[in-house]
Amino acid sequence: MSTQVMEAGVDVSFDRIFREMAPLDNIIQAMGRLNREGKARTAPTLSVFLMDNSCRPYSELEVEISRQNNF
């Protein structure tokens, strides 16, 4: 998922998601797109990455809380 458009209001299912670091509630929302239909043959995987030292469009505090929760 590359934009916030996919975070809410879209009924899609993925086996694997790559998500840039964000506030925890946004990451949890992305997790809701993993294996929605229960048809994955392997364990669904969410990979969270930090693109650079910028946290835009989120506040640094929101991103730091997510990082402290091992995302």
Q: What does the pLDDT look like over 20-29, one tens digit per residue?
A: 888 888 888 8
Q: How far is CA 45 from CA 31, 58, 61, in A?
A: 9, 23, 26
pTM value? Answer: 0.66
Joined together, the tokens standing for residue 68 give 């402290």
Helix (H), strand (E), coil (C) string for the chain = CCCHHHHCCCCCCECEEEEECCCHHHHHHHHCCECCCCCCCCCCEEEEECCCCCCCCCCHHHHHHHHHCCC
- Least confident range of 2-6, 23-27, 29-33, 43-47: 2-6
